[in-house]
Chain A
């Protein structure tokens, strides 16, 4: 079993929809949780960073961490076609040094 599990999708939604992306993990030592966005044939770019449990909001994006359930989520409000990309969750016990990535969920937002 992988340390980080993420549904690969693809997920197809209409423009304006609320998108929910999720990851589960097994390592209780993970304290740092990130979401990366990766456009086709590009490198990943950091979208959200959360330390330990709780919520974090940045514009249309909200990241949630539930350490008791070992479950993290990324919500995208008012989704736009430009949000079409692969979303990778990543986590570690010690900052950015040893990130463990999920497989990524491919999202398509259609007009």
Chain B
């Protein structure tokens, strides 16, 4: 069974440029999470979807971050414009209902 797939794995951009990350969850998992992991820190929840609905986006910086989950499957996380402090790993995770989370390998962003 395929795990959570994220792309790109690595992205280097200049500050003020836009960037987008894509996540394909495990088949059948209706709940999808985006986490931010700064270097030397644990993951922090940005947004949680149940099907198409964002049920918890309280930690998403809405001035520059946006996310969508069309058709309740794949999801995209966008940053526009990127700032130096956005350099981090963006992790996607999925679960069936509110069960165990399965994480992808992450998208590592470097903002120059």
Contact = CB atoms under 8 A, between A and B. Distances in A.
A43 B106 contact: yes
Interface in B16-41: 40-41
Size bracket of the B interface? 20 to 34
Size bracket of the A interface? 20 to 34
B100 interface: yes
B44 interface: yes
A60 interface: no
A92 B98 CA distance: 12
Interface string A19-54: 000000000000000000000011111100100000
A43 B42 contact: no
Contacts of B44: 101
A101 to B, nearest CB: 3
B103 A45 contact: yes
B43 interface: yes
Contacts, number: 50
A90 interface: yes
Interface of A is mostly: loop
A95 B4 CA distance: 20
Given A88-B42, A102-B42, A104-B41, A97 B56 contact: yes
A98 B93 contact: no
Contact of A104 (B4, B42, B103): B42
Q: Which 6 A-B pairs have the closest CB atoms?
A: A101-B42, A43-B103, A95-B98, A88-B42, A44-B103, A43-B105
